[in-house]
Structure 1
Amino acid sequence: MRQVGDGGGLEPLGPGDPREISGYPLEARIGEGGMGTVYLSRTRGNRPLALKVIRREHARDPQYRRRFALEAQAARKVAGYHLVPVLDFDTDAEQPWIASAYQPGLPLDALLDRYGPLPLPAALQVTGCLARALHAVHAAGYVHRDVKPSNALIGTDGPWLIDFGIARSADTTSLTVTGGIVGTPRYMSPEHALGREPGPASDVFALGLLAAVTGTGRHPYGDGTGLGVAAQIAATDTSPPVLDDYPEPLRGILRATLAADPGRRPGADELAALCEESAGRPLTDFAGWLPAPVASAVAAAEETATVVVR
Structure 2
Amino acid sequence: MTPLSTGDPEYIGGYTLLGRLGAGGMGVVYLGVSASGRQVAVELVHGSYAEEEEFRTRFRQEIAAARRVSGAFTAPVVDADPDADRPWMATLYVPGLNLAEVVKKDGPLSQRELRALGLGLTEALRDIHRAGLVHRDLKPANVLMTEDGPRVIDFGISRAADNQSLTVTGRVIGTPPFMSPEQLASPRDVTSASDVFSLGSLMVFAAVGTGPFDADSPYMTGYQVMHEAPDLEGCPRRSCSSSSAASTRIRPHGPN
- TM norm. shorter chain > 0.5: yes
TM-score (norm. length: structure 2): 0.84
Structure 1 residues 228-243: aligned runs within 5 Å: 228-235=220-227, 239-243=228-232
Partner SS, residue 182 of structure 1: coil
Partner SS, residue 99 of structure 1: strand
Alignment equivalent of 1:223, drawn from 190, 204, 215: 215
Cα deviation 1:190-246 (Å, max 9, x = unaligned): 2222215222221111011000011111321233322221222122xxx42253642
Determine the C-alpha separation between the residues in 2 that align with 1:154 and 1:75.
21
Q: Look up the match of 2:195.
A: 203
Q: Look up the match of 1:250.
A: 239
TM-aligned CA deviation for residue 112 of structure 1: 2.0
Q: Look up the match of 2:18.
A: 28
Structure 1 residues 116-155: aligned runs within 5 Å: 116-155=107-146
TM-aligned CA deviation for residue 11 of structure 1: 4.4
Unaligned 5+ runs, structure 1? 1-9, 266-310
Q: 1:36 to 1:124 in 2, by over 3 A?
A: same
Q: 1:49 to 1:56 in 2, by over 3 A?
A: same
Determine the C-alpha separation between the residues in 2 that align with 1:131 and 1:178.
33
**Counterpart amino acid of 1:214?**
A
Cα deviation 1:127-165 (Å, max 9, x = unaligned): 221111001112223221111001101112221000012
For structure 1, which segment, 216-225 or 149-158, has the greater mean C-alpha deviation from structure 2 after superposition? 216-225
TM-aligned CA deviation for residue 180 of structure 1: 6.8
For structure 1, which segment, 115-124 or 146-155, has the greater mean C-alpha deviation from structure 2 after superposition? 115-124
Determine the C-alpha separation between the residues in 2 that align with 1:53 and 1:233.
31
Q: 1:222 to 1:71 in 2, by over 3 A?
A: same
C-alpha RMSD over aligned residues = 2.9
Cα deviation 1:69-117 (Å, max 9, x = unaligned): 3322221122101100011111111111111111111121122223322
Q: Look up the match of 1:106.
A: 97
Q: Provide the aligned length of Structure 1 versus Structure 2.
A: 248
Q: 1:45 to 1:206 in 2, by over 3 A?
A: same
Q: Look up the match of 1:162.
A: 153
Determine the C-alpha separation between the residues in 2 that align with 1:187 and 1:19.
34
Unaligned 5+ runs, structure 2? none
RCO higher in structure (CA 8 A, sep ≥6): 1
Partner SS, residue 80 of structure 2: strand
**Counterpart amino acid of 2:69?**
V
Determine the C-alpha separation between the residues in 2 that align with 1:129 and 1:25.
30
Matched-pair contact (CA < 8 Å) for 1:186–1:227? no
Partner SS, residue 26 of structure 1: strand
Matched-pair contact (CA < 8 Å) for 1:12–1:28? yes
